[in-house]
C-alpha cells in the first residue's frame, strides 16, 4: 500500500509515518514544515527505501496536483493542519486558510487524480479530525461524544476542523470520492511539540519552573497515547466503511489537575527533586476564553466494527512519555530555544 500522509512531520502524522513504514507500507510524507514540524520526528525512518519526503503546502493546489502525479498514492491520510487552540484564538486566519482551504485543495487534488486513474476501487481519502468539533460536554460521565453528536465547535480551531469535516462528507456525497473520517480525543506521547500541556509540564518541571494549569484544573480530557492513535488510523483507513466516521478515544478521562499530578508523581520517582515534590510547582493561571469543560469519546463503533481498543492506560502512557523526554533532550532542547515556544500553553 502506498500512502500519502500530509502533516507527517508533525506530532501525530510522524507517528503514522513511523508505524506505516515499520509495517512495510510505502509512505510519502507531504509537509510544508511550519513551526510545528520537525523532521527529527521521522528520523527513525528517513533512510528507509519505503520513505519519501515532499515539501509542499496544502494551500497550493498546483503543488498538490504535481505531488499526486509524481507519487501516485493508493491511499491519502490527511493530517496537515494548524492544530493549537490558543494560537487559533490569537490569529484565526491561518486556521481558515490551512484547515479549510487546504482541505478543499486536498479533496480537489485527490478527486482529479482518482478520476484520472479510472476511480480505482481501493482508493481512500482519510480525513483526520478532532473531537473538539462536538463542543463541550456536561460533567455527567454517562454522556459522551458519539458519531451522531451534533457539531458545536467553539474555537476558531475546532470551527475550522468542523468545516473541513463537512467538506470531506460533501465530496463523498457529491462526487463519490471514497472517504473515511475519524475524530479523536487529546493525544500525548513522544515527539509532542513543547507548547502543549503535557510536554510543557514535563519540561517546566525538569527546569524547576512553575507548572501552569488553566483555571482550577477541572477541565476534563480523554487522553490517548499517540501510538495507539496511529494504530487506530491505519485500521480505519484500511477497514473503515466508506463515507463513515469513527470516534477514537483512550477511555482515559482525567481532569487537567489529575493529569499534571500524575506526571509529577512519575517524575518524583524517576528524577526526584532535591527541594520537595514536583507538585509544589503547580500554578493556576487565568483560563483560556471559551475553554471547553469536558471532552469524552464513546468509542463503541470502532470497537465493535473494527475490533480496536487502546493498548495502554494513561498512567502507562505517561510513564513511557516521561521516560522518552528524559532520554531525548537532544530532540527538545533546540525547540525550547526557539522564540515563544513553551510560552503558549494548550491542552491539545
Ligand atoms: N494533537 C491532538 O491531540 C489531536 C487530536 C485529534 C485530532 N488531531 C488532528 O490531527 C492532525 C495532526 O495533529 P498534530 O497534533 O500532529 O499537529 P501538529 O501541529 O503537530 O502537526 C501539523 C503538521 O502539519 C503541517 N502543516 C501545517 N500547515 C500545513 C500546510 N499548509 N501545508 C502542509 N503541511 C502543513 C505542519 O508542518 C506539521 O508538520 C490535525 O489535523 C489535528 O487537527 C490532533
Non-local CB neighbours of 60 within 8 Å, separated by 6+ positions = 105
- Mutate which of 4, 6, 11 to test ligand 1's pocket (most atoms within 8 Å of Cβ)? 11
- What integer pLDDT is reported at residue 120 of this predicted model? 97
- Could you report the per-residue pLDDT of 171-188, keeping only the tens digit for each? 999 999 999 999 999 999
User: Is residue 72 predicted with pLDDT exceeding 60?
Assistant: yes
Q: What three-state secondary structure class fits 270?
A: helix
Q: Which atom of ligand 1 is nearest to the CA of 132?
A: 6
Ligand 1 center–CA 169 separation, angstroms: 20
Q: How confident is the model at residue 346 (pLDDT cuts 50, 70, 90)?
A: low
What is the model's pLDDT at position 291?
84
Average pLDDT for residues 20-42, to the nearest whole number?
97
In angstroms, how far is CA 325 from the centroid of its own chain? 18
pTM of the model: 0.96
Q: How far is the CA of 106 from the centre of ligand 1 (A)?
A: 14
Residue 331 CB contacts under 8 Å (≥ 6 apart), including other chains: 38, 40, 191
* pLDDT score of 345 more than 60: no
Ligand 1 centroid vs 128 CA: distance in angstroms?
A: 9
Residues involved in catalysis: 131-132, 157
Kindly give the distance from the C-alpha atom of residue 275 to the centroid of ligand 1, in angstroms, as a whole number: 38
Ligand 1 pocket mutation, candidates 9, 80, 87, 161, criterion most atoms within 8 A of CB: 80
pLDDT at residue 146 is higher than 80: yes
Measured from the Cα of 188, ligand 1's closest atom is 3
How many angstroms separate the alpha carbon of residue 31 from the centre of ligand 1? 10
- Output the nine-digit C-alpha cell for 284: 493556576
> Quick one: average pLDDT of 75-99?
96
Query: What pLDDT, in 10s, does the model give residues 184-216?
Result: 999 999 999 998 899 999 999 999 999 999 999
Using the atom order of ligand 1, give the atom closest to the CA of residue 102: 31
Nearest atom within ligand 1 for CA of residue 161: 43
**Residue 166 pLDDT exceeds 80:** yes
79 Cα–ligand 1 center, Å: 5
Atom 27 (ligand 1) nearest CA = 81
**Closest CA to ligand 1's atom 28:** 81
Q: Which pLDDT value is given to residue 195?
A: 86
**The pLDDT of residue 341 is above 70:** no
Tell me the mean pLDDT in the region 255-262.
96
Confidence of residue 248 (pLDDT cuts 50, 70, 90): very high
The pLDDT of residue 87 is: 93
Per the structure block, which three cell numbers stand in for 319?
510513564
Q: What is the pLDDT of residue 203?
A: 96
- How much is the pLDDT for 342? 53
The band of 348, judged by pLDDT with boundaries at 50, 70 and 90, is low
C-alpha to C-alpha distance for 202 and 216, rounded to whole angstroms: 19
Mean pLDDT of 83-89: 93
**pLDDT value at residue 189:** 98
Is pLDDT at 317 greater than 90 in this prediction?
A: yes
Percent of the chain residues past pLDDT 70, beyond the cut: 97
Ligand 1 site residues, Cβ closer than 6 angstroms? 6-7, 9-13, 31-34, 36-37, 57-59, 79-83, 98, 102, 128-130, 161, 184, 186-187, 193, 348
Q: Which domains does the chain have, with CATH numbers?
A: 2-193+222-251+296-312 (3.40.50.720)
Residue 284 has pLDDT above 90, yes or no: yes
Q: What is the pLDDT of residues 37-60, one digit of tens each?
A: 999 999 999 999 999 999 999 999
N-terminal to C-terminal alpha carbon distance within the chain: 31
Residue with cell 533512510: 47
Strand boundaries in the chain, DSSP class E:
2-6, 26-31, 51-55, 75-78, 124-130, 179-184, 187-188, 211-214, 220-222, 224-225, 245-248, 253-255, 282-285
> Which one-letter DSSP state was computed for residue 150?
P
Residue 339 has pLDDT above 60, yes or no: no
Ligand 1: which of 5, 8, 13, 164 to mutate, judged by most atoms within 8 Å of the beta carbon?
A: 13
Amino acid at each position: 500500500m502506498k500512502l500519502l500522509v500530509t502533516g507527517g512531520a508533525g506530532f501525530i502524522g510522524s507517528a503514522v509515518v513511523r508505524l506505516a513504514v515499520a509495517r512495510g507500507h510505502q509512505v510519502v510524507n507531504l509537509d510544508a514544515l511550519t513551526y510545528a514540524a520537525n523532521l527529527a520526528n521521522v528520523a527513525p525512518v528517513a533512510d528507509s527505501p519505503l520513505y519519501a519526503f515532499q515539501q509542499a503546502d496544502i494551500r497550493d493546489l498546483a503543488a498538490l496536483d504535481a505531488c499526486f502525479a509524481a507519487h501516485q498514492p493508493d491511499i491519502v491520510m490527511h493530517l496537515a493542519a494548524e492544530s493549537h487552540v490558543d494560537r487559533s484564538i490569537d490569529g484565526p486566519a491561518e486556521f481558515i486558510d490551512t484547515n479549510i482551504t487546504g482541505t478543499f485543495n486536498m479533496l480537489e487534488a485527490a478527486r482529479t487524480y482518482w478520476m484520472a486513474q479510472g476511480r480505482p476501487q481501493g482508493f481512500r481519502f482519510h480525513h483526520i479530525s478532532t473531537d473538539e468539533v462536538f463542543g463541550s460536554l456536561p460533567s455527567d460521565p454517562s454522556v459522551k461524544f458519539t458519531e451522531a453528536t451534533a457539531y458545536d465547535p467553539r474555537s476558531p480551531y475546532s470551527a475550522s476542523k468542523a468545516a473541513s469535516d463537512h467538506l470531506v462528507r460533501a465530496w463523498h456525497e457529491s462526487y463519490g470520492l471514497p472517504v473515511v473520517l475519524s475524530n479523536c480525543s487529546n493525544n500525548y506521547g513522544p515527539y509532542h511539540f513543547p507548547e502543549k500541556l503535557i510536554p510543557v509540564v514535563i519540561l517546566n518541571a525538569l527546569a524547576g519552573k512553575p507548572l501552569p494549569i488553566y483555571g482550577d484544573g477541572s477541565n476534563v480530557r480523554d487522553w490517548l497515547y499517540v501510538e495507539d492513535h496511529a494504530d487506530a488510523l491505519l485500521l480505519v483507513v484500511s477497514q473503515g466503511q466508506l463515507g463513515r466516521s469513527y470516534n477514537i478515544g483512550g477511555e482515559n478521562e482525567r481532569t487537567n489537575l489529575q493529569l499534571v499530578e500524575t506526571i509529577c508523581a512519575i517524575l518524583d520517582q524517576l528524577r526526584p527533586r532535591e527541594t520537595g515534590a514536583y507538585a509544589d510547582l503547580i500554578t493556576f493561571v487565568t483560563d483560556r476564553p471559551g475553554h471547553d469543560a469536558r471532552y469524552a469519546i464513546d468509542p463503541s463503533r470502532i470497537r465493535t466494527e473494527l475490533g480496536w481498543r487502546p493498548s495502554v492506560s494513561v498512567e502507562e502512557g505517561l510513564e513511557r512519555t516521561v521516560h522518552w523526554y528524559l532520554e531525548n533532550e537532544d530532540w527538545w532542547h533546540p525547540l525550547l530555544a526557539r522564540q515563544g515556544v513553551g510560552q503558549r500553553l494548550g491542552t491539545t
